Amino acid sequence: MSALPVGSLWKEYRRYRSGLAGLALLASLLALSAMAIALVPLDAYGQWNNPSYWSEYPKAAPPAWVNYITGLKLPEHLVLKDPIIDRSAIGRVKVITHTFRFAFPYEAFPDDFVFKFSLKYGASPPLVELSAERPDGVRMLLARSAMPPRSEGSEARAYDSAIFSTDRNLRVNLANHLAERLGILASPDGISPERMIFAKGGPSMADGGTGVLKGDYAFQARFFLLGDQDDVISSSLVIGGKVFGLFGTDDLRRDLSVGILWGTPIALSIGISVAVLSALIGLAYGVISGYHGGRLDELMMRLNDVAYAIPALPFLILLALSLGRSLLYVIAYLILFGWVGIAKVARSAALQIKAAPYIEAVELLGASSWRVIFRHIVPQLIPYAIANIALSVPAAILAEAGLSFLGLGDPRVPTWGQILHDAQLHGAAARGLWWWALSPGMMLALSSLAFVMIGYALDRALNPRMRGI
């Protein structure tokens, strides 16, 4: 085992293109982690297992980019939360307008839509009017309704309500629209609002028979408020589409991009903390055992044999089941099985170095055993420890993913393995929900690939016979 200081290790390492590619991949994963932390709200991630948080999202929708591959132009699911707000007044009545503008260039109708709003009002109930403005300039009144009355002289309080595309009142209004503008008498039951609003004008537009009218739409809500204290707190519009976002959604309507992006910093920190701590523990264990020798060495190596022989995954599962599955525990369990290999290597290296004449010389000069260990033995082992760390990061990431896949992950900290567990549980393979299984696994594979490439390059840089080949 030749000593190779860290500086010359880097000189040797950077000759391997695959190693540099591994570093580049790692850098992009770190950038992705930073992006996830900065851009994806922690709140959404924390609500991962709360179904009501995700009710506005579509169920099992493929990612939006499938449109580019299939050429189908399926409507994208839109969650609009920032309306253009306008305030005016008609006499004593405050009129607040919330307008949602969006492009609809798709070739299929949306599944449904829902307009949610939250008002604050006192004794006199406000009036809400929702209408749609189409690319052809036609304006359709969708709903007009008064809020429920409150007892005389009551304080202004918040009230949440919603207008759904399935409301009967919408069909009646649209039937009136047909009768007035086109002179068609249609039964309200024969009208499907989510189609008619987005259909080309014509006699059969009631059920979308005329095809989709592509272009820019505006949904406008007008709130007529009568009290001084009354106000509109917020409003949102969801156009139910068939595809969603960069990663799609799962069966429980969760936006997979939240879980997948947040999974990156989580997986990296699991992998790196397990690998670094295991390497440090193993290094210390092996060096002490080898340097000390004698009975202590014998005892420590027997203990090492036991840890080596124990079947790891079953014991990980048993520990998770009986002691708990919080993420910190899982990291501890993984370290419990991670230090064994490097301890053996460190011990044999320590035995070799200890026998060298210069160590004897240092000892004769009166160096303490701690000084010998930390000044002379450990520095020589650091390059190997780095290679070991690089190769045990993917092992730790995949082990955690495996545990989570078996349903033993920390429910408070969703990981890629847990997303795959849910996919398996809900029969993603049988139902053809490929995006649910593909992207989390791909992220797992890319993160371990980064470290495997780094590890392989280090391996070659450290082994003189492999150098340059």
Binding site for another protein (CB under 8 A): 18, 302, 305-306, 309-311, 313-315, 317-319, 321-323, 394, 398, 401-402, 405-406, 420, 423-424, 428-430, 432, 434, 437-438, 441, 444-445, 448-449, 451-453, 456, 459, 463, 465-466, 469
Report, in Å, the least distance between residue 209 CB and another protein. Answer: 33
Tell me whether residue 296 or residue 321 sits nearer to another protein (CB atom).
Answer: 321
Report, in Å, the least distance between residue 438 CB and another protein. Answer: 7
Report, in Å, the least distance between residue 143 CB and another protein. Answer: 43
Decide: residue 409, CB within 10 A, 0-12 exposed, 13-18 middle, 19+ buried: buried
Report, in Å, the least distance between residue 432 CB and another protein. Answer: 6
Report, in Å, the least distance between residue 436 CB and another protein. Answer: 10
- The residue written with tokens 């009208």 in the block is 191
- The residue written with tokens 């004794």 in the block is 123
Sheet holding 112-121, edge to edge: 78-80, 231-240, 112-121, 157-164
- Measured between alpha carbons, how far is 53 from 450 in angstroms, rounded to an integer? 34
The two structure tokens encoding residue 67: 């449109």
The two structure tokens encoding residue 231: 């106000």
Report, in Å, the least distance between residue 144 CB and another protein. Answer: 48
* Nearest alpha-carbon partner for 368 in 466, 291, 444, 438: 291
Burial 179-201 (b: 16+ CB within 10 A, else e): eeeeeeebebeebbbbbbbbbbe
Tell me whether residue 130 or residue 320 sits nearer to another protein (CB atom).
Answer: 320
- Measured between alpha carbons, how far is 201 from 183 in angstroms, rounded to an integer? 13
Tell me whether residue 85 or residue 318 sits nearer to another protein (CB atom).
Answer: 318
The CA distances from residue 40 to 61, 74, 76, 102, 193, in Å, are 20, 25, 20, 22, 34
Report, in Å, the least distance between residue 322 CB and another protein. Answer: 5
User: Do 192 and 204 contact (CB within 8 A), yes or no?
Assistant: no
The CA distances from residue 52 to 12, 192, 389, 411, 412, in Å, are 54, 27, 41, 17, 16
Tell me whether residue 303 or residue 327 sits nearer to another protein (CB atom).
Answer: 303
Tell me whether residue 79 or residue 312 sits nearer to another protein (CB atom).
Answer: 312
Report, in Å, the least distance between residue 370 CB and another protein. Answer: 31
User: Do 335 and 281 contact (CB within 8 A), yes or no?
Assistant: yes
- Non-local (6+) Cβ contacts of 356 within 8 A are none
Report, in Å, the least distance between residue 297 CB and another protein. Answer: 15
Helix-, strand-, coil-residue percentages of the chain, each rounded to 5? 50, 15, 30
Report, in Å, the least distance between residue 18 CB and another protein. Answer: 7
Tell me whether residue 247 or residue 451 sits nearer to another protein (CB atom).
Answer: 451
- Measured between alpha carbons, how far is 304 from 339 in angstroms, rounded to an integer? 9
Tell me whether residue 205 or residue 403 sits nearer to another protein (CB atom).
Answer: 403
Tell me whether residue 45 or residue 435 sits nearer to another protein (CB atom).
Answer: 435
Q: Please report, in angstroms and rounded to a whole number, the separation of the first and last CA atoms in the chain.
A: 19
* Nearest alpha-carbon partner for 440 in 401, 466, 407: 401
Q: Which long-range contacts (CB under 8 A, 24 or more apart) does 147-155 make?
A: 147/119, 147/121, 149/125, 150/121, 150/122, 150/123, 150/125, 151/123, 152/123, 153/123, 154/122, 154/123, 155/122, 155/229
Tell me whether residue 153 or residue 314 sits nearer to another protein (CB atom).
Answer: 314
State which amino acid sits at residue 272: I
Tell me whether residue 235 or residue 415 sits nearer to another protein (CB atom).
Answer: 415
Report, in Å, the least distance between residue 114 CB and another protein. Answer: 32
Tell me whether residue 296 or residue 361 sits nearer to another protein (CB atom).
Answer: 296
